[in-house]
Structure 1
Amino acid sequence: MCEHRAAVGSAAAASAAAALVLHGLFLRPRMLTWGATREEAARSYPGDELVPGARSSSTMATTLPAPPAEVWRWLAQMGCDRGGWYSWDLLDNGGRPSADRIVPQWQGLEQGQRLASVPSDRAWFTVAALAPERTLVLRADMRLPSGRPFDPFRGPAPLAFVSSVWGFHLGPVGPDTRLVVRTHGRSRPRVFTKPMDLVFWEPAHFIMQTRQFHNLRARLTPAA
């Protein structure tokens, strides 16, 4: 019986190790660069410099069926207190449907403006870089484990924190738009945050970002 249990345990350990290798070598790199070309994934973007010493990064991309000026209007009204995030609304917008039309009063964006990242308004993204119809970089700085925001420019960083940027970069491709989304992040303590990146944050970002791509495409596709 002991030998049988040992054999089962060894097989389970070998399966787990194989799964980790498969994820690390094949699935994770594809997930972190979903839709992006090698050149897009390798280049730098505005906003990368805002998180020096970043230890996590992703570059995802898609082509949307509208010119940059039209895509920009949808991005400009993002935020839980505005048009939502066009992703899984139950998860990131309190169940309230994201906007399905352009709302003029949500079109104004300014550097330094806060966009609520949760329905309660207790956390937010800050507009860190802005070039209309080309670049929108959102920044979030959170204490751990509370998730409460902190100001990275006032005093030392907390003992446990996450600082990240979420950048949207637009370029024309004929009549369409190439949208490249770059994330950069830095956190501590890494003994805790790195496993969380691998197990939770990276898969969560992949799920939410690909859904946002899908929903933006649906909003920009002309009705038949």
Structure 2
Amino acid sequence: MSGQRSGVRLLRFGTAAAAATVYALRVRPRLLTWGATRDEAARAYPGDELVPDAGGSSTMATTLPAPPERVWAWLVQMGADRGGWYSWDRLDHYGEPSTDRIVAEWQSLRVGQRVSASRNGQTWFTVAMLEPNRTLVLRSDLVLPSGRSFNAGSTPLPLAYLNGIWAFHLRPTPGEQTRLVVRTRGRSRPRRLTRPFDLLVGEPAHVTMQLRQFQNLRSRVIT
């Protein structure tokens, strides 16, 4: 009986190891480059330099049926205290629907401005780079595990933290359409603790939310 149990455990271990290998080598790279061409995934974009030694990154892309200026109008009004994120609102907007219209007072952003990511104002993105109708780079600097934001460049750094960017790059394509490429880059410390969380939770969550945002942006820009 003990030999049989050992065989079952060995089979389970082998199955788990095989599944992990397939995910790491085949599934994960495809998820993190969903919709992007090889050139889009490989090239550098404005804002990459803000996280020079990134421990993780993704490049996802889609083509939207509207010119860049129309897509930009939706992106520039993102925020928990603005138009929402156009993703799964129950998960990232407290169940409140993201706006389905362009709001004039949300059409202004400036470099250095904070874009709230929580109701209590303790978590935010900072507008790191902005070129209208072309580039929007949002930066996030978080204390872990609380998830509260801190100012970039603060010293000393927290014992556990996450630095990252969420960058939107728009390029016109034939037929008055827009190629939207979304690049993320992040680094966190201590890696021995944050890396498993990134792989098991952070990356799958980002892919799920980003795909939903693509879908909802598509429905909005054609209205």
The two structures share one fold, judged by TM-score above 0.5? yes
The CA distance in 2 between the partners of 1:154 and 1:216, in whole Å, is 35
Classify the secondary structure of the residue corresponding to 1:137: strand
- How far residue 118 of structure 1 moved from its aligned partner, in angstroms, is 2.1
Partner of 2:219 in structure 1?
218
Partner of 2:159 in structure 1?
159
Classify the secondary structure of the residue corresponding to 1:98: coil
Partner of 2:57 in structure 1?
57
User: For each residue in 1:131-170, what CA deviation from the matched residue of structure 2 results, as whole angstroms up to 9, or x when unmatched?
Assistant: 0000000000001111111122131211110000000000
Verify: 1:109 aligned to 2:109, yes or no: yes
Partner of 1:45 in structure 2?
45
Deviates more, 1:117-126 or 1:207-216: 117-126
The CA distance in 1 between the partners of 2:43 and 2:177, in whole Å, is 21
Verify: 1:184 aligned to 2:190, yes or no: no
State how many pairs are aligned.
222
Verify: 1:27 aligned to 2:27, yes or no: yes
Contact 1:144 1:160 in 2 (8 A): yes
The CA distance in 2 between the partners of 1:104 and 1:47, in whole Å, is 27
- What pairs up with 1:163-174 in 2 under 5 angstroms? 163-174=163-174
Classify the secondary structure of the residue corresponding to 2:126: strand
The structure 1 segments of at least 4 consecutive aligned residues displaced by more than 3 Å after TM superposition are: none
Query: Structure 2 counterpart of 1:81, which letter?
Result: D
The CA distance in 1 between the partners of 2:20 and 2:140, in whole Å, is 30
Partner of 1:74 in structure 2?
74
Classify the secondary structure of the residue corresponding to 1:52: coil
Query: Structure 2 counterpart of 1:217, which letter?
Result: R
Contact 1:81 1:121 in 2 (8 A): no
User: For each residue in 1:151-191, what CA deviation from the matched residue of structure 2 results, as whole angstroms up to 9, or x when unmatched?
Assistant: 22131211110000000000000110000000011111000
The CA distance in 1 between the partners of 2:119 and 2:37, in whole Å, is 34
Query: Structure 1 counterpart of 2:125, which letter?
Result: F
- How far residue 120 of structure 1 moved from its aligned partner, in angstroms, is 2.9
Classify the secondary structure of the residue corresponding to 2:136: strand
The CA distance in 1 between the partners of 2:152 and 2:69, in whole Å, is 32
**Percent of counterpart pairs with the same letter?**
60
The CA distance in 2 between the partners of 1:65 and 1:48, in whole Å, is 27
Partner of 1:17 in structure 2?
17
The CA distance in 2 between the partners of 1:45 and 1:121, in whole Å, is 29
- How far residue 46 of structure 1 moved from its aligned partner, in angstroms, is 0.6
| RMSD of aligned Cα (Å) | 0.8
- How far residue 73 of structure 1 moved from its aligned partner, in angstroms, is 0.1
- How far residue 6 of structure 1 moved from its aligned partner, in angstroms, is 1.0
State the TM-score, normalized to the length of structure 1. Answer: 0.97
Classify the secondary structure of the residue corresponding to 1:59: strand
User: For each residue in 1:174-212, what CA deviation from the matched residue of structure 2 results, as whole angstroms up to 9, or x when unmatched?
Assistant: 110000000011111000111111101000000000000
User: For each residue in 1:23-63, what CA deviation from the matched residue of structure 2 results, as whole angstroms up to 9, or x when unmatched?
Assistant: 01110000010000000000000110111211111000000
Query: Structure 2 counterpart of 1:215, which letter?
Result: N
Query: Structure 2 counterpart of 1:65, which letter?
Result: P
- Unaligned 5+ runs, structure 2: none
Query: Structure 2 counterpart of 1:142, which letter?
Result: L
Partner of 2:146 in structure 1?
146
The CA distance in 1 between the partners of 2:106 and 2:82, in whole Å, is 6
- Unaligned 5+ runs, structure 1: none
The CA distance in 1 between the partners of 2:190 and 2:209, in whole Å, is 25
